[in-house]
Amino acid sequence: MRVLTSRLSSFANSRNLVQRAMHLLQDKAYVNGEWVTAASKKTFEVKNPATGEVVGCVPDMGVEDVQKALEAAKVAYESWHTKTGKERSELMKRWYYLMDQHHEELSKLVCVESGKPICESRGEVTYGNNFVEWFAEEARRIRGEIIPSPSNNKKMLVERQAIGVAALITPWNFPHAMITRKAAAAMASGCTCVIKPAEDSPLTALASAKLAEEAGIPKGVFNVITSDKPNASAVGKLLCTSDLVAGISFTGSTEVGKLLFTQCAAGIKRVGLELGGNAPFMVFSSADLDAAASGALACKFRNCGQTCVSANRFLIQEDIHDEFVEKFAQKIKCLNMGNGIDEKVNVGPLVNKAQFEKVSKMVEDAVAKGAKVILGGKPATAYGELYYEPTLLTHISSDMELYKEEVFGPVATLIKFKTEEEGLAIANGTQRGLAGYFYSQDVSQIFRVYNKLECGMVGVNEGIISAAEAPFGGIKESGLGREGSHHGIEDYTYYKYICIGSLT
């Protein structure tokens, strides 16, 4: 009876959250400055993973609708890229200020459509807003250069110019920040955008469009098209092959990224890919184990383990392994599961049934092959059909799926290693290279290990590493290019060399 009462309360609270965010809740897509339906008039439902409740309906758009958005973005590009950096900056700052003013409404939308706890949703909105503020400032700092000429009668100049229309395909796990991180960089550079958010979480993208409209961003500069999963393949192919698109930016799985990369090859398009990870989290004998356990908790269980930079393999030096297991287990026991609208909750549901089944099967495979369950290891059905217990497993072997693949869920797997060299061999024994983490108090070891880790980002004695000021991206099969920082402009600009002759 107590669980039923809690579930009913969660439904009621979810409705209240949506009602309080009604100003930003949209049921149409945003194309060329107008709120539009799909040509087919079809729609699809957006559900709260925590409750199964429908929180909105949006257009199920196809290639005909997307073509119109691309055409609008191409027309808008002609005037947008000729604005000065200062003009673009001022418009983007207005957008940032509106996002900041509506911080709580955006947070509630993130919470109800992604299942992310409200405390984390607020953090994501702050993080996402920071990209708009950052790139609004970067718009005025896109510099060229003057090259000393080898000839007295020539002047050699280099300018950076916007590439054109950028197609942005974003994931469900960060429905606000993944859009602002891409779109703000593109817009600051002088590009216009056609954004395809994930079908699980399109409402936050449309809320961002609403605020862009209110900020006075010109029509056609920021377009959001929504489509359900059956249309995703055709829409993605059009974005990759259309002559109207100059560049693609995609965040998602490595498998889909490879497909999009292949489709972009025919047009030699600019491609930015932020793909899957398989992050190692190494704890050496010299580490502060209390700090390491706290860092591991934040790195693994944030957003229910559904982040591309979540630690996936915990590599623990054997002489401190058992002590670390005990400390980590005590941290995990303090986590509170439930509907993210509850301020006390810090672990919500998995995003959908497919993800829930993937996590369940990977744990079952590991246990069948000899993994030891320290905590969790099964669905948490008392909370809802998409909840899975925070899980801690030891005795992990190389024949288990959890050893080889990214779990993308609330499951921590611990692997012993003896020497630094052995630990690094295990950490680097993957084709993924997004993020890596390690804890050590040995200064010499810190410099050796971060230099040898094969990944694009490294957290040393730190489990949370993302910031607007820092370049985000990976190596190997984890992607191409960097987002955030001043390097985030590079995917959306090209260098134009100008040689002026006959000067003497």
Catalytic positions, please? Answer: 274
Structure tokens at 306: 């559904």
Q: What span, in angstroms and rounded, lies between the C-alpha atoms of 12 and 112?
A: 12
Strand 165-169 and strand 245-251: the pairing is: parallel
Closest-CA residue to 297 (of 315, 279, 311, 282): 311
Q: What tokens does 37 get?
A: 């339906």
Q: Which two tokens stand for residue 18?
A: 């949506």
**Cα separation of 27 and 46, whole Å?**
10
Q: What are the DSSP E strand ranges found in 368-427?
A: 372-375, 391-394, 411-417
Taking residue 41's Cβ as centre, other Cβ atoms within 10 Å add up to 8
Q: What is the CA radius of gyration of the chain?
A: 24
In degrees rounded to 5, what are phi and psi of residue 256?
A: -70, -40
C-alpha dist (Å) from residue 129 to 90, 97, 177, 190, 331 = 15, 9, 7, 19, 30
- Identify the CA nearest to 252 among candidates 366, 351, 163, 173: 173
Measured CA to CA, the distance from residue 249 to residue 434 in angstroms comes to 16
Q: Which string of b and e fits 86-110 if b means at least 16 CB within 10 Å?
A: eebbbbbbbbbbbbbebeebbbbbb
Tell me if 453 sits within 8 A of 429, measured CB to CB: no
For residues 368 and 402, the answer to whether their CB atoms sit within 8 Å is no
Which residue in 123, 126, 187 sits closest to 488, CA to CA?
187
- How many Cβ atoms from other residues are within 10 Å of residue 12's Cβ? 12
Q: What tokens were used for 274?
A: 């932020």
> What is the spatial distance between Cα 334 and Cα 293, in angstroms, rounded to a whole number?
12
Alpha carbons within 13 angstroms on the beta-carbon side of residue 354 total 2
Residue keyed to tokens 């905590």:
375
Bridge-based pairing state of the strands 54-59 and 43-47: antiparallel
- Cα 332 off chain centre by: 24
Instruction: For the chain, give the longest Cα–Cα distance.
Output: 91
